[in-house]
Amino acid sequence: MRTRIAEQLQEHGTVIKRLESECSDSIARIAGRLVETLKIGNKLLIMGNGGSAADAQHFAAEIVGRFAMERPGLPAMALSTDSSALTAIGNDYGFDRVFSRQVEALAAPGDALVGISTSGNSPNVLKALETGRQAGCSTIGLLGRDGGTIAPLCDLALIVPSDITPRIQEGHITVIHILCDLIEQSLFGSLAGDR
């Protein structure tokens, strides 16, 4: 077991180092777009499936609540949290529409849609980003592998440099925490109680 533990931690460390060397500019651009979105009073709509749904909820919770400092709440929501909407839309329109239908109902021009997909090929995330783009939203992807079919639909995409799903997910949550920090520092860095 110790060998397996060491292998897992080494893989994780390699991905995190590559994120720093290969993706820092992308992270900064995404943070800048999210800051601008929130600064003008728009909101973040975040989506994903499975573990990526959990990441979407985590991201939204850190933005609405707080990450590391006391500050006013900010508008963000995960589109995977309303079980009645998900099951009704899935039943009536198909699972591929569970996010796009919510984007139709909730998105406003200037909002930012964040799609999280380890494969880069989740059909429901893809359709939601297409719908959001037509509605005048920014489209952002947190992806893995080669970015899949979603990457070309994104105004900004971060592709975690790995083909291994758990390592991609670990990269995503690390990036989400960095984005939360950069948003708080950019919007409220002068507030007392920082860290």
pLDDT tier, 194 (very low <50, low <70, confident <90, very high otherwise): very low
Residues 6 or more apart whose CB falls under 8 angstroms from that of 142 comprise: 55, 114, 115, 116, 117, 157, 158, 160, 172, 175, 176
State pLDDT tens for residues 84-113.
999 999 999 999 999 999 999 999 999 999
Fold of 2-188: Rossmann fold (3.40.50)
On whether the CB atoms of residues 141 and 158 are closer than 8 A, the answer is yes
**Domain coordinates in residue numbering, the chain:** 2-188
pLDDT surpasses 90 at 195: no
Residues 6 or more apart whose CB falls under 8 angstroms from that of 89 comprise: 97, 98, 101, 102
| Known binding residues | 49-51, 58, 62, 91-92, 117-119, 122, 169, 177
| Known binding residues for Zn(2+) | 58, 62, 169, 177
What pLDDT, on the 0 to 100 scale, is given for residue 88? 98
| Known binding residues for substrate | 49-51, 62, 91-92, 117-119, 122, 169
Tokens of 119: 């494969």
State pLDDT tens for residues 44-87.
999 999 999 999 999 999 999 999 999 999 999 999 999 999 99
On whether the CB atoms of residues 42 and 110 are closer than 8 A, the answer is yes
